[in-house]
Amino acid sequence: MKTIAELASALAAGTTTAEKLTEACLAKIADPSGEGVSSFIKVNSDTALATARQHDKLRAHGIVPSSLAGIPISIKDLFDVRGDVTRAGSTILRDAPPAAADAPVIERLRAAGAIIIGRTNMTEFAYGAHGINAHYGTPLNPWDRPNKRIPGGSTSGGAVSVTDGMAAATIGSDTGGSVRIPAALCGITGFKPTQARVPLQGAFPLSFTRDSIGPLGNSVACCVLLDTVMASPMVSDATTEPIRQASLRGLRFGIPNTVLLDDLAPEVATAFELALASISSVGGVIEEFSFAELAEEIDGSKKANFSAVEAYALHRERLISRFNEFDPMVAKRLMFGANMLAADYVELIQLRQRLIASANRTTARFDALLAPTVPIIAPTIAEMSHSDANFYRLNSLLLRNCAPFNVLDRPCWSLPCHRPGAAPVGLMLVGETMQDRRLHGIALAVELALGLAPGAALKG
- Does the pLDDT value for residue 305 go beyond 90? yes
> Could you confirm whether 28 is annotated as catalytic?
no
- Does the pLDDT value for residue 228 go beyond 90? yes
Within 37-194, strands assigned E span 40-43, 72-76, 115-120, 169-173, 189-192
Give the pLDDT of residue 215.
98
pLDDT tens-place string over residues 334-350: 999 999 999 999 999 99
Give domain 4-239's CATH number out of 3.40.30.10, 3.40.50.300, 3.90.1300.10, 3.10.580.10: 3.90.1300.10
Q: Which of 39, 178, 219, 414 is catalytic?
A: 178
Phi, psi of 265 (to 5 degrees): -60, 145
Domain range 252-449, CATH architecture: Alpha-Beta Complex (3.90)
Give the pLDDT of residue 422.
96
> Could you confirm whether 154 is annotated as catalytic?
yes
> Could you confirm whether 156 is annotated as catalytic?
no
Q: Which of 66, 74, 76, 161 is catalytic?
A: 76
Give the pLDDT of residue 430.
98
**pTM value > 0.85:** yes
Every domain of the chain and the residues it spans: 4-239, 252-449
Question: Considering the chain, what percentage of its residues have pLDDT values greater than 70?
Answer: 96
CA 346 to chain centre: 29
Are 4-239 and 252-449 the same fold in CATH? yes
Q: Which of 39, 90, 154, 212 is catalytic?
A: 154
Q: Is residue 58 exposed (0-12), middle (13-18) or buried (19+ Cβ within 10 Å)?
A: middle
pLDDT tens-place string over residues 115-124: 999 999 999 9
